[in-house]
Structure 1
């Protein structure tokens, strides 16, 4: 299934795509895709619904983030071998974990604000993993049972805030609108292998990122198990799993985003995003 939220900001309704890629309204069945709605039995109940029996939504409404009520937005740094190489970093012996504020989450095509004082706003296409049931001390063998599905994330980053202002990375990752998520939550049964998905990102039509989840250092199965050793992962939590090479920081000379720039990105089977950047 491809699940989504549509409608004006703060008034989003749940929907799913039918076989023709049209939005069908699910508000008569669930309130949103959050918490218990993401449990395996809840998704099974939705899977039993024939989308063609649901109300058709005409036109092209705004899409909200495909998951609601996210409690934790967990990110993995330097998780692609080729991205680590372009930044001159060594491959970490364990996953680098940092948090992105959930207040950064916006819809996949919403405008993104370049924060005041920013000189180095950057892009990162990433595979998002959405947790479907509480995971605590889970093994790698059982880790995938806790994944509700996958989505596209642009882990927008302000590099000066991140690396030149002391402290942890969080303040360079958590600015308002820095977490476009969606367009869809694609349930795990539709993705045969999350470690074999092509991913790309363009800025103003120029391709900068053209990679694959094949080059992840720590894969989805490992990350879910690893993170669950340190904290409980709850339904609706998101793990953003890192980015392939081609970020602005990796260009020679560096290239960073400015007002009016348009970023488009996508992951195989998970849909596309488009954001126009503006000065805050």
Structure 2
């Protein structure tokens, strides 16, 4: 996938905050930013320094964030800001600021979200949770790479000097080795060889499977650890789990997970041409069988007709 686009409804936008993990604002995230220059949809630019930020009311912070969101993110096909959505954008931002989806640590305060990099990051996260109507579907759509819309393990062929190698079952992976970066990955590969619900799997190395995401306004790519194809009844759509094995979960890991759950997975499933997909982070590193089984059950349940 090359990226995402938003299929905006004509009149309003809504959000499902339950899709979002808590956004932790701490000194490490704020870093060394000292001044913020904000520009409204209409009007002159103005600079907010730290003293000014301390005096900002929550509604004012929401106003500035909504301004940035509309002017930079909520654009039509011609690149013009969808200014009629400003009222809804401000409502959503204020709802998010007042929710338990934002956590402040180390003396940080809401106005520091107006730092340009953080404002961009927040708006990207909120984009992923937007709905076309209350209780509706995500507005995010997939933009496929026109030169390589699909990938395959048939093209994987590379030398390696890494010592960590797992030999997979021949009926579950046609690669001769699964190159592992940790004992946890080797343990998970062994689980995939033995699990009765696994049809095939591969480590995501030299596969070309990259997930675009944004961190503090910079475009980045994320490479999840494993792709796992699950067994399905004959005639059913294929089901694939994207798996990340994660011990320590830093700020970047949280952004990657949010992007997978709220952008990449809904966008790919909306295409309807590549089966059903889901994402799981396995964080109980010494015994992740239960987490893996729960992810399989959730995907199967989401696929079954109501």
TM-score (norm 1): 0.27
Answer 1 or 2: higher relative contact order, Cα 8 Å, separation at least 6: 1
TM-score (norm 2): 0.25
Rg comparison, structure with higher value: 2
User: If each structure's strand is expressed as a fraction of its own residues, which one has the higher value?
Assistant: 1
User: If each structure's helix is expressed as a fraction of its own residues, which one has the higher value?
Assistant: 2
